[in-house]
Chains A and B, each alone.
Chain A
Amino acid sequence: MDFNDTPEEAKFREAARAWLAANAPKHEAYSQEDFLKAAKAWQLEKYNAGWACLRWPVEYGGRGASAAEAAIFAEEEAKYSLPTGPFTIGQGMAAPTLMAYATDEQKKRYLPKLASGEEIWCQLFSEPAGGSDLAALRTRSVRDGDDWVINGQKIWTSGAHYSDFGILVTRSDPNVPKHKGLTYFFLSMKSPGVDVKPIKQISGQSGFNEVYFTDVRIPDAQRLGEVGQGWTVSLTTLMNERAAIGGGGGLGFDTAYALAKELEIDGKPAIADRAVREQLADWYCKESGLQFTRARTQSALSRGETPGPENSIGKYVGAKKTQDIASFCMELIGMAGVCMDKDLAALGGLLPQSYLGAPGGRIAGGTDEIMLNIIAERVLGLPQDIRVDKGIPFNEVPTGN
């Protein structure tokens, strides 16, 4: 057990640190309005210097680095507040699916532009009738010559309004059981018949959208995987999704700790209060538990092993922790804790913003309940839930609201 970098890793970290120190700070200041521009500028800066999508092969815009190196760079990059969000889906979920299923030509065309941040991708999976039960989706694809014709509706599509391309799962055959009748594509979001309508979220912002498809034509060449194999292809995306968003992130111990030192309870610093200390310790243990679970995964990767299922806990633990910390900190501040006026609120309103954003973390990318089901079934080998739709042709399955 050696928690220190190997000499090569240390050299790599040194180089990453030096480059970040020279280049990252000027990308830290940006406003909500020019978030996208700022994100693209930072991504391009990384790409030009060879620090984008490190594990990807050089010909696709990466640098063929090891898993350990990629992890080191991510760790160092996370020390800055940089705008990277818009690329999570494209680089973290669409790209691995393209690597596995696209043709060489397609990979050469799309991956480098994903790496440079020139093109942004979104994930057109969830539908009004298919969220947790993704395979219950209804958006239809019908073959017509060399094309497919798509009709239906997606929902909760993050970033659809600024995306250039999307990965899309559709129902190509409603006459077979639900998992068997799906087909997977990618398409340009500028295709005629694609209509993006923003949805206003709890926070008041519109990060996600409804996307309507009316007779949208997709060339068969943009199909990923075989006809009817869309579920298998989707699983590649979903596995990578859990890795991409599994890091936890969000509001953390440090914020709560700093506040507890600054604010008072009973005329003494809140940090002196035993209940506050216990609460803080609990979050510290969760954070460090997640951090070292990632470290275990990384060492499995650097030994060339497939990581075990430990990482499946990241999003589940991290999302709720963020929600709890936001809630606790607002109460620590007291009556002013709910103030969202930018100029008056503590930390510029970060806490209520996190509080309002946190429920999304517990839903997006698989709800808490679905994550527990996954751990129970895939890790602990417990029986699947009873499925009344099992083996029944999709068009005979009962539906609700």
Chain B
Amino acid sequence: MNFEFSEEQNMLRDQAVSFLKDKSPLSVARKILEGNEPYDKALWKDITDLGWTATTIPEKYNGLGLSHLELCVLAEELGRALTPVPFSSSLYLATEAILAFGTDAQKEAWLGKLAQGQVIGTAAVAEGPGEFSPTKVGASVKANRLSGTKIMVPDGDIADFAVVVAGGDAGLSLFLVDLNQPGVTRTSVATIDPSRSHANLAFKDAEAEPLGKAGEGASLLSQLFDRAAVLFAFEQVGGAEAAMNQAREYALGRYAFGRPIAGFQAIKHKLARMYVAIQLARSNCYYGAWALSSGAPELPVAAATARVSASQAYRECAEENIQVHGGMGFTWEFDCHLFYRRAKLLAVNLGGESTWKNRLISSIESDRAA
């Protein structure tokens, strides 16, 4: 057993850390949060030039042909830096979906462009408030034409195409939909974390092409979410650790009652509990990374476990980071709220903690029934 990232993977991490330190300090996330740009275009170009968007795409489609472990490393570092680019939508959702379910022709059509950052992809799932349910999807495709609405699509305002869940002739299915066509109307929506943009999408007889087996939409979506959950979880762990470190730094430098507040047990124990939550999440993430990269049948359980504990860790770290900062933590000027926002955004993006806990038990039930 070797339950750590390899030397090469850690070298990739070192490169990512120094690149992001230089190009994506928190001021960059803040710039997008405060401005009108949906994402940092120059940074996105740098990232695609580095080949990060090509990570898991096979070489024959102009990708790097690396494993998902490399992608997990990058996810963690991007999460740590709160980097304001459409990486998660384009890679964890769109690229993953095409890699997993696409025909050769679809791969040929999209993967090369995704690898080079010529297109941005995303997934459009939710249609209204409440837990997503395959039985409540209103969007539908008839004769390859999609109509309906999807809400809160991550990067929906900038993406070139989306993987859309909709009813089809054979029942719920996945479709690839070009978002730059006349039948698509995008409306940007304000969210809790403007450093990552979202849009509502309205489709009226938009051209749609089936992705994966028709009628298997619920199962395909579930498989896609399992894969994405591991990658989201790495972003969450990266963010949680950054929030903990921010709290630690502040506590060491801030004095009250004649000494650093880091010396008060209430603060020490808060930080220790953040550390515990992060370790549990990190270890579960490693298991998720292994299951994802090796195609193990344990993936549904491993992904849900990683996802739940990473959401928990990020929530605890983001909340308590503000608490440790006192009044300063509640200001716009301090960066604490950047983590607080992102923690919630990532937690609900694929369905919240409760949803994933439920999925976890369902997966355990079906494993044990088998």
Interface residues of A (CB under 8 A from B): 1-6, 9, 68, 257, 271, 274, 277-278, 280-282, 284-286, 288-293, 295-296, 298-300, 302-303, 310, 313, 316-317, 369, 371-373, 375-377, 379-380, 382-386
Contacts and interface: CB of A to CB of B under 8 A. Distances in A.
Given A3-B287, A292-B284, A277 B357 contact: yes
Contact of A380 (B271, B290, B357): B271
Interface in B25-75: 69
A82 to B, nearest CB: 23
Contacts of B3: 1-3, 292, 295-296, 298-299
A43 B276 CA distance: 34
A346 B182 CA distance: 65
Contacts of B269: 369, 372-373, 376
Nearest to B69: A1
A383 B263 contact: yes
| Max chain A C-beta neighbours (<10 A), residue from B260, B286, B304 | B286
A378 B271 CA distance: 12
A382 B271 contact: yes
What secondary structure prevails in chain A residues at the interface with B?
A: helix
| Max chain B C-beta neighbours (<10 A), residue from A68, A313, A386 | A313
21 contacts: A1-B2, A1-B6, A1-B293, A2-B2, A4-B1, A5-B1, A277-B358, A284-B364, A285-B284, A285-B308, A286-B309, A292-B284, A292-B286, A295-B1, A295-B287, A298-B3, A303-B4, A313-B276, A317-B276, A375-B272, A379-B275
Contact of B5 (A1, A303, A310): A1
A-B CB proximity, top 9 nearest: A289-B280, A281-B357, A292-B283, A376-B268, A383-B263, A375-B272, A372-B272, A293-B283, A299-B3
Given A286-B280, A289-B283, 5 more contacts: A284-B305, A300-B4, A303-B2, A303-B4, A373-B269
Interface residues of B, number: 48
B21 interface: no
A111 B14 CA distance: 45
Contacts of A380: 248, 268, 271-272, 275
A298 B286 CA distance: 14
A282 B361 CA distance: 10
B229 to A, nearest CB: 13
B133 interface: no
B211 interface: no
B286 A288 contact: no
B223 to A, nearest CB: 20
B114 interface: no
Contacts of A372: 268-269, 272-273
Contact of A299 (B4, B248, B262, B364): B4
A274 B6 contact: no
B260 A383 contact: yes
B354 interface: yes
B276 A316 contact: yes
A43 B202 CA distance: 70
Contacts of B354: 274, 278
A112 B361 CA distance: 46
| Max chain B C-beta neighbours (<10 A), residue from A2, A298, A382 | A382
B265 A373 contact: yes
Contacts of B289: 1
| Max chain B C-beta neighbours (<10 A), residue from A68, A290, A292, A296 | A292
Interface string B262-299: 11010111011101100111011011011001101000
Contacts of B279: 289, 293, 310, 313
Interface string B347-365: 0000000101110110011
B268 A382 contact: yes
Contacts of B309: 285-286, 289
B365 A373 contact: no
B93 interface: no
A290 B262 contact: no
B281 A289 contact: yes
B233 to A, nearest CB: 11
B259 interface: yes
A305 to B, nearest CB: 9
B1 A299 contact: yes
B346 interface: no
Contacts of B265: 369, 373, 385
A384 B263 CA distance: 6
A296 B286 contact: yes
B280 A385 contact: no
B276 A375 contact: yes
A277 to B, nearest CB: 4
A140 B271 CA distance: 38
A3 B260 CA distance: 42
B353 to A, nearest CB: 8
B84 to A, nearest CB: 29
A288 B305 CA distance: 8
A302 B360 CA distance: 31
Nearest to B313: A289
Nearest to A276: B361
Contact of B358 (A2, A281, A303): A281
Contacts of A379: 272, 275
B109 interface: no
A357 B42 CA distance: 60
B107 to A, nearest CB: 26
Contacts of B275: 313, 375, 379-380
A246 to B, nearest CB: 12
Nearest to B281: A289
A271 B357 CA distance: 12
Contacts of A9: 1
Contacts of B4: 1, 296, 299-300, 303
Contact of A271 (B6, B69, B312, B365): B365
Contacts of B293: 1
A281 B361 contact: yes
A376 B274 CA distance: 10
| Max chain A C-beta neighbours (<10 A), residue from B6, B279, B294, B296 | B279
Nearest to A316: B276
B192 interface: no
B252 interface: yes
A332 to B, nearest CB: 15
Contacts of A371: 272
Interface string B237-273: 0000000000010011000000110110101110111
